[in-house]
Amino acid sequence: MTARLRLYAAISLDGCLADDRGEVGWLHPFDAQDYGMAGFLAGIGTVLTGRATYDQARGFGDWPYAGKRVVVLTRRPLDADPPAGVEAMQGEVGSVVARLRAETTGDIWLLGGAAVAQACLALDLVDTLELFVIPLVLGAGLRLFSPGGMPQGWRLEAATTFANGVVGLTYRRA
């Protein structure tokens, strides 16, 4: 079975993945809740991320993706001592995703950032959107959906409301 490309992300009410500085500190008040991440990660074989998101994750302390293959889309070399399982990959995003689909056991987590997510959405590569809508309007930031993108149909598969006001939404291609 071909690996699915799953975009699993927290977004603000106005559709931002990060604030206008590319930071995600606004998510911290919502960290205490379990949104099913362990179950999600159990089905993931490869994590696909852009360079800025990789660099940000490196600053978190303990590497959050231990035991997973992590592919960083980048034109620059990685730091001297990347965590185990991390590799840099160059090329057009469609070709990279096709290669990962063929090589991956399990699914592919499209971690981000915004540019990689927008490129995958524009090329119609994303199989599922698993979004956790945070009850906060940022006003400005790095948006999940780029303005002027092509219309796409999605079918709601599941909706979960959490006590802290977060809403989890799972969509599949229509």
Q: What is the pLDDT of residue 60?
A: 80
C-beta separation of 116 from 74 below 8 A? no
Tell the burial category of 41 from Cβ atoms under 10 Å away from its Cβ (0-12, 13-18, 19+). Answer: middle
Q: Which helix H or strand E contains 101, and what residues bound it?
A: helix 93-103
Q: Which amino acid is at 10?
A: A
Find tokens 């699915």 and name the residue: 4
Element (H, E) at 99: helix 93-103
Quick one: pLDDT at residue 80? 84
The answer for 94, left when phi > 0, alpha when psi is -120 to 50, beta otherwise, is alpha
Domain locations along the chain: 1-24+41-139
pLDDT computed for residue 102 by the predictor: 96
Res 103: pLDDT: 95
Q: Return d(Cα 49, Cα 162) in angstroms, integer.
A: 27
Which homologous superfamily is 1-24+41-139 in?
Dihydrofolate Reductase, subunit A (3.40.430.10)
pTM: 0.94
Q: Flag residues of the chain having pLDDT under 70.
A: none
- For residue 86, how many other CB atoms are within 10 A of its CB? 21
Q: Give the per-residue pLDDT at 79.
A: 85
Contact 26, 19 (CB under 8 A): yes
Q: Which residues contact 132 (CB under 8 A, 6 or more apart)?
A: 9, 10, 11, 35, 166, 167, 168, 169
pLDDT of residue 61: 82
Q: Give the tens place of pLDDT for each residue, 53-75.
A: 999 998 888 888 999 999 999 99
